[in-house]
Amino acid sequence: MVSVAVPKERAPGERRVALVPEVVARLVKEGLEVRVEKGAGEGAYHPDQAYLDAGAKVVDQDELLPGAMVLFTVQPPELDLIQRLERGALVVGFMQAHKNPDRLKALLHRGVDVLAMELIPRITRAQAMDALSSQATVAGYLAALHAARLSSRFFPMLTTAAGTIRPAKVMVMGVGVAGLMAIATAKRLGAQVFAYDVRKAAVEQALSLGAKPVELPISAEGEGGYARELTEEEKRIQHEALREHVSGMDAIITTAQVPGRRAPILLTEDMMDRLAPGSVVVDLAAESGGNCVLTKPGEVVEVKGVRIYGPLNLPSELSVHASEMYAKNLYNLSRLLFKDGAFAPDWEDEILKGALLIKDGQVVHGPTKALLGI
């Protein structure tokens, strides 16, 4: 019987768990043994008993990995956990190689294979496995709530005995999955929402949600649904145009990121000087450097009356649903790894091939190979 292991996440502030009891029950029914470390689900409010009821074995860390063929994680496993992995085992989770090169080297030296959830190809067949999108949905929702919480103004229009309150003006910069969810949530809160993205298709999606697009003579469609890097001339055009638009905003949510690179700067100091005191910026790119020059990752800072928040690991704040969505992503991916209870992946499948980071003692992902100097 193939054994699947789920560790307790140990990254600071991480409350998610890789598999929830509902998904564990499905895997057990399909003939797999699922081992869950004691306390693994506590941060997502799943007690050990719920995993036992689902058919899992709830074990101490020492009993988790011996004989386990697959390790499902949220964050990259800690170094001490890596040393206990069975050689030839498969690790599946968010790896973020550019942030964790030491752990990638340890996994390589341990002789295990690695699938990175952030590398799942953005193709139609892989949508149900796209953990980047599921977790970005959570982040976008919370970004709008944090913007409303930090704002000195109401978001909705209100008609009161004391007069009429105009709706807040909210701009979302970067209209990917997180941006679209931020737009939808800000609209539900009653704000007047504006949207900017360098991809024409994204602008059309923002329009469908009721946002007013900020359109510039720039089109930067890239591969895999991401934007390509702008030329210097395009950056100049973007800066000049956005500088005028941001000045009237009460809240700005930025989400622009480039996989494996520093996030692009969208809000420069001269643009921040144009924001009115009492306005707020929520920078979802804080973990990769930030879209705002004044962002301090993990902190709320106030500069000239403007609050700037650079949240880290937002999905962990909504641990119940974030874990549920992530676990279903892993379950859908598992259909490509297991057949009739046996470990039988087709490594030539375009989804598995695209997400492979390490295979048979070799780094097979080009950018990661360059990062590690291999």
What positions carry a catalytic annotation?
122, 127, 130, 133, 226
> The tokens of 370 are what?
């360059």
- Residue pointed to by tokens 């992902």: 365
Buried b (16+ CB within 10 A) or exposed e, 120-150: bbeeeebeebbbbbbbbbbbbbbbbbbbbeb
Secondary structure percentages of the chain, helix, strand, coil, to 5: 40, 20, 40
**In the structure encoding, which two tokens stand for residue 276, read together?**
């009115």
Q: Are 262 and 289 in contact, with CB atoms under 8 Å apart?
A: yes
DSSP 284-344: TTGGGT-SBTT--BT-EEEETTEEEEB-S-GGGGGHHHHHHHHHHHHHHHHTTTEETTEE-
Give the Cα separation of 48 and 57 in Å (integer).
Answer: 9
Strand partners, 70: 4, 90
Length of the chain in terms of residues written: 374
What whole-number distance in Å separates Cα of residue 114 and Cα of residue 135? 20
Residue 169 · residue 191 · CB < 8 Å: yes
Whether 172 and 255 have beta carbons less than 8 Å apart is answered as yes
